[in-house]
Amino acid sequence: MNNLSSLWSDVCGLKSVVYLSLVTFDTATGMISLGILHLMDDHIYSGSSTLAALEPPETPHPVERNHKRTYKVWRWFSWRKAVLFALTLFLFILAIILMKEGAETLTPLIRNYFDVNNPVNSLGFGWLFAYVIMSGSPVAAAALTFLEAGALGRLSAFTMVIGSRLGASFIVLFIGFIYVLRGRNKATSLHMGLLSLTVTGSSFFMVLLVGLALLRSGSFDQIQLQPGQVFISLTDHIFDPLVALFLAVLPRWSLFAVGMVMIIISFNLFDRCLPQMALKESQVGQISRLIYQPWVMFLLGAAVTLISMSVSVSLSVLVPLSHRGFVRRENVIPYIMGANVTTFIDTLFAAVLINNPAAFTIVFVSMVSIALVSAIVLLLFYRHFQNGILQFVDWIMIDDRHLAFFMIIILILPLLLLLI
């Protein structure tokens, strides 16, 4: 009973806040520090077996249960978040339109100064661009605006989109590397970033081959999702005066830069719109059985990222499972693979806003290619793929010289691609 009282006092009063930096790896046990927490009222209660052993409450009347369910749904709804989401959507649409307006004047800069003239160059360009702005989604959207402006062809725009995701996967590792330089534990700070980058990098180079073949074949050219005339008319009436206002005070080329800043802000605001997510105590047993199935974790990663639109944010959803050790690092590999498929959902929306059939095809083919490669890996040689990933990550972590060599290669590789 004393232990239960102590546990109760430890967990009450904590707020349900998720941070990616809390994802840790225990080298002694080989476990990623993940666990189960249950959000109830304004406190978080542990999903431990000790609390589960408490005498269960009386079963509420069906009417009372419905009232409680309605109350929980209503609590998830927040007028503040609704207004914030509307502002996020407004800024995102305005940003895409501004980038589209300014991209045309940047065509000589892209082709002549940066010398982006083929798919290999654009792969390195998108990769480096993501390094510079510390984000991948704005770069992917920029690739579509360059396609619309004629600065890039279809294949080059596709490889720039893929390069943006490779650059984005490096950001988590880079932030962890900064923590190591500040004296943090190396294993805790770097393992998740290394795992994410290695899984993404190894699969995306296969995705490049599949995607380029699909684009050349034209198999998906007829699959389109275009905005209706009502939507186009509405956006024209709302945003055309704003674009004209920007053009009255700024040169046209600067609209692209303004749009880039605005789209980064919109993504940051969107993260604040996401609801808090928690697992009930009754789900602990189900999760402990299912997480060892690669396909389950693949679908879970895809579903969570479909909502969050960010691999980093979807990985942070695993943090409320901390302190329980339910998930080993090999279970996270298919989760990352699934997240890589649906992380393109924001870019797909940008393609619809641009209203360019080729832009939509590029993003759609990107998602299909990643899904196909992931399915082949999971069905045919997942265990070999998993073991290779884990052995490579262990090799990097075992020696600081290996880590330094890997970081230098990852930084130099996109620059070499740009110069080819």
Q: What whole-number distance in Å separates Cα of residue 220 and Cα of residue 211? A: 11
Contact 335, 294 (CB under 8 A): no
pLDDT at 26 over 50: no
Task: Say if residue 77's pLDDT is above 80.
Answer: no
User: In degrees, to the nearest 5, what angle opens at C-alpha 410 toward C-alphas 414 and 310?
Assistant: 85
Average pLDDT score over residue span 214-229: 86
Predicted confidence at residue 15, as pLDDT, reads 34
Q: Distance between CA atoms of 229 and 298, rounded to whole angstroms?
A: 37
3-state secondary structure of 356: coil
- Give the SS3 label for residue 115: coil
Q: What is the pTM of this model?
A: 0.77
20, 312 Cβ separation under 8 angstroms: yes
Comparing 242-251, 314-323, 346-355, which segment has the lowest mean pLDDT?
Answer: 314-323
Cα–Cα distance for residue pair 326/318, rounded to 1 Å: 10
> Where is pLDDT greater, at 292 or 357?
357
DSSP state of 20: G
- Return the pLDDT at 299: 92
The mean pLDDT value of the chain amounts to: 78
Rounded Cα distance, 116 and 420, in Å: 9
pLDDT tops 50 at residue 73: no
How far is 368 from 71, CA to CA, in rounded Å?
Answer: 39
Rounded to an integer, the average pLDDT of 109-119 is: 86
pLDDT at position 339 is 92
Closest CA to 137 of 361, 311, 21: 311
Confidence label for 187 from pLDDT (cuts 50, 70 and 90)? low
Asked if the model's pLDDT at residue 46 lies above 80, the reply is no
Share of the chain above pLDDT 90, in %: 41
Q: Does 31 have pLDDT greater than 50?
A: no
Q: Which helix (H) or strand (E) holds 370?
A: helix 357-380
- The separation between the first and the last C-alpha atoms of the chain, rounded to the nearest angstrom, is 68
- What does the pLDDT look like over 363-383, one tens digit per residue? 999 999 999 999 999 999 999
DSSP codes of every residue in 187-220: HHHHHHHHHHHHHHHHHHHHHHHHHHHHHHHTTT
Residues 6+ away with beta carbon under 8 Å from 39: 16, 276, 278
Query: Phi and psi of 417, rounded to 5°?
Result: -65, -40
